[in-house]
Amino acid sequence: MNKLRRIDLNLLVTLHALLLEKHVSRAALRLHKSQPAVSHSLAHLRRIFDDPLLVRQSGKFELTSRAAELLPALTGALEHLGALLEPPEFDPAKAHRLFRLAMSDYGARVLLPRLIRSLRIIAPSVDLAISQASRESMLADTIDGEIDMALGVFPGQASNELRMQTLFQERFVCLADASTLLKSGELDLESWLARPHVLVAMRPSADNEIDYVLSREGLNRRIAVTLPHWDVANELIVGTDLVLTVAQRSLSSIGADPRVQIFEPPLEVPPFDFKLVWHQRRDRDVAHSWLRQLIMRTVNS
């Protein structure tokens, strides 16, 4: 308690920005302060915590182990302090708030067009910052407080600190050049396995639902192209022998293009849940709760 009396709470706000940005200039922009002022605060914080907090590695700053421990606790503490000072009501028409969301371009296609249109009407001063990362990174960033919520496919048991809400269930379909298919407009399992495939994944070694099913059946396929972009994957199919097996909603832009054919996979691939994830520390944040409810209504409308 004696140490707390010696600390200006603004220093903790500066520390939070520095730990999130890992960069003095970006932290200064975030805080609307000058870079020298933030550098001076960093030096003071290093003395207070008796730790360098940010250390330069390979030309960029990284958190020390002490700073990494501080970040989630500091995020929660500042949010609780903000809740004490802010009124419990939230008026979206008057609110000025930035929310940081993480999702793939599939999630962006499903959610963002309608969500943004709603925000521009009912909450014109509420801003969104969208980022993309692997499933593991999105969950880790949600725990660390670097993002407000994540949207995606998160199989298995997540951390007890996280809350999850299923937004909808999605199924897989296949896409191929129509001229390369049988008259039935599809492929049997043998022909499907013989084709080269396109895989949408953040990294080539990532586990995925389709190859999990194949492995369980003692089968495998050749992945000719791996890329992290759902929309571009659709464009690779015309004029090739490639097969793409993806979430049905990712093909919504194709429409009635006669050059390609959408068909059912020749083996049973279970559907998956598309989820909204946030940290339990956000449960009592009325603005955060409002956005969660809006996202749920937007997806289910």
133 and 157 inside one domain: yes
Top mean-pLDDT range of 112-116, 136-140, 225-229: 112-116
pLDDT at 87 (0 to 100): 57
How buried is 134 (Cβ within 10 angstroms: 0-12 exposed, 13-18 middle, 19+ buried)? middle
- Mean pLDDT, rounded, for 62-91: 80
Cα–Cα distance between 108 and 101 in angstroms, integer?
A: 10
Q: Which 8-state DSSP code applies to residue 51?
A: S
Least confident of 70-84, 158-172, 229-243, 279-293: 70-84
Task: For residue 49, give the nearest of 34, 30, 65, 32 by alpha carbon.
Answer: 65
Name the band, by pLDDT with cuts 50, 70 and 90, for residue 159.
Answer: confident
Query: 60, 85, 110: which is the final residue of a domain?
Result: 85
The reply to whether 90 falls in a domain is: no
Query: 85, 110, 127: which is the final residue of a domain?
Result: 85
The reply to whether 152 falls in a domain is: yes
The reply to whether 92 falls in a domain is: no
Least confident of 82-86, 213-217, 296-300: 82-86
Domain that residue 234 falls in: 172-270
pLDDT at 253 (0 to 100): 77
Neighbour tally for 247: CB within 10 Å = 21
Name the band, by pLDDT with cuts 50, 70 and 90, for residue 3.
Answer: low
pLDDT at 1 (0 to 100): 46
248 and 278 inside one domain: no
39 and 129 inside one domain: no
181 and 65 inside one domain: no
- Mean pLDDT, rounded, for 142-155: 90
Classify each residue of 14-45 as buried b or exposed e, where b means 16 or more C-beta atoms within 10 Å of its C-beta: bbbbbbbbebbeebbebbebeeeebeebbeeb
Domain holding 155: CATH number?
3.40.190.10
Neighbour tally for 129: CB within 10 Å = 11
pLDDT, one tens digit per residue, over 6-58 is 667 788 889 898 998 888 888 888 888 888 889 999 998 898 888 999 998 88
116 and 137 inside one domain: yes
Name the band, by pLDDT with cuts 50, 70 and 90, for residue 103.
Answer: very high
Instruction: Output the average pLDDT for the chain.
Output: 88
The reply to whether 91 falls in a domain is: no
pLDDT at 83 (0 to 100): 65
The reply to whether 80 falls in a domain is: yes
Which 3 state secondary structure label does DSSP give 170?
Answer: strand
Number of domains in the chain: 3
Q: What percent of the chain has pLDDT over 90?
A: 49
The reply to whether 284 falls in a domain is: yes
Residue 75 reports pLDDT greater than 90: no
12 and 77 inside one domain: yes
Query: Which of the two residues, 86 and 141, has the higher pLDDT score?
Result: 141
The reply to whether 57 falls in a domain is: yes
Neighbour tally for 274: CB within 10 Å = 22
